[in-house]
Amino acid sequence: MNKKEFSLFRKKLNKTQRQIAQLLGTSLKAVHSYEQGWRGIPAYVERQLLFLVSQKNKKIKGRPLCWKIKKCSAEKRSRCPAWEFKAGDYCWLINGTICEGLPQNTWEEKMRVCRTCRVLTSQL
């Protein structure tokens, strides 16, 4: 996540910098640093922010499920934590999903896949 996205999502939530710092469990100074680009945005902050925005937009009916979009076989679904936890609309939040055939090793790798996927983009 870059500084522009962070700021955009904060504004979508209609929160001040102080309010978003409280929601994210971080300092106001950290939020200033994220929005100025002085500090990278940690994975746990990005994950929390994306979750909050998706919850704000939860009123969307018929959110797409990842295993339907990706047309996953029964065997592939059985190995995927998104299927195990019945979280096909929150697969982007769960580590270890196998959207590209193998689990991604880091949050950054996972987000490269998820940012282009309709499951996440439909919620933001």
Per-residue pLDDT of the chain (124 residues; tens, 9 = 90+): 999 999 999 999 999 999 999 989 999 999 999 999 999 999 999 999 998 888 877 766 667 788 988 888 999 888 898 999 888 888 888 888 888 878 888 888 888 888 888 888 888 8
Domain interval for residue 80: 66-121
Q: Is residue 109 part of a domain?
A: yes
- Asked if 22 and 41 sit in the same domain, the reply is yes
pLDDT value of residue 32: 96
- C-alpha closest to that of 120 among 70, 76, 73: 70
11, 30, 56 - which closes a domain: 56
- Asked if 51 and 88 sit in the same domain, the reply is no
- C-alpha closest to that of 49 among 85, 25, 18, 82: 25
Alpha helices by DSSP H, listed for 25-73, are 28-36, 43-56, 66-69
Residue type, 97: T
- Asked if 93 and 112 sit in the same domain, the reply is yes
- Asked if 72 and 109 sit in the same domain, the reply is yes
Q: Is residue 61 part of a domain?
A: no
